[in-house]
Amino acid sequence: MIKYAALLLTVFAVLSCQTKQEDNRDLSDCLYAVPEAIFPEGTNAISDHHFSYDGAAGKEDLSFDEDGARLHIIQSGCDHLKQEFRFQLPGARIPGTPGQVIALAVRQFERIAGLGPEFLVFEEWAEAIEAQSDEIGTGEPTALQPGFYVKVETEGTQKDAILVITLSDRP
């Protein structure tokens, strides 16, 4: 589990922040800086990629070329980080049990990890979620390690499932 604690700290630091200030907001008192795009322009197997920062949160949208699934990411936090991954899965059914929802979350993070070596950290997230799958309920934050939480939930209709995975440093 120490492996996961070090990994999760690294993930938050790498995926959520950059060292320069991109707006007029004073970030000098913040533990973390302005969020940046997780997916660089030109990442293989994705299209329709857009990233913006509105002074409070970074917002990233993209499509997966393989099946047209959409991903909307919201990253926020000054001293407390939160990353919300919203997977819109056209034609997918909302899983019936919490275990099926968790398995779907693991598969989506494995999908991201498969995009290239720079995304392998998502495989570690998938492993951490899978390792705690018996304790993770849908819609409730669950500690993967002290200070590292995951919440998994679904929205949508039976026709188009929306899977929401939230990573944060507090419940």
The pair of structure tokens assigned to 91 is 């034609």
CB 121 within 8 A of CB 158: no
Whole-prediction pTM: 0.85
Residues with Cβ within 8 Å of 4's Cβ and at least 6 positions away in sequence, in order, are 124, 128, 131, 144, 145, 148
pLDDT of the chain along its 171 residues, tens only? 445 444 444 444 444 443 334 445 566 678 888 899 999 999 999 999 999 999 889 999 999 999 999 999 999 998 899 999 999 999 888 888 999 999 999 999 999 999 999 999 999 999 999 999 999 988 999 999 999 999 999 987 667 789 999 999 999
Q: How far is CA 155 from CA 59, 84, 123, in A?
A: 19, 14, 24
State the Cα–Cα distance between residues 20 and 61, nearest whole angstrom: 22
145 forms bridges with which residues in the sheet? 148
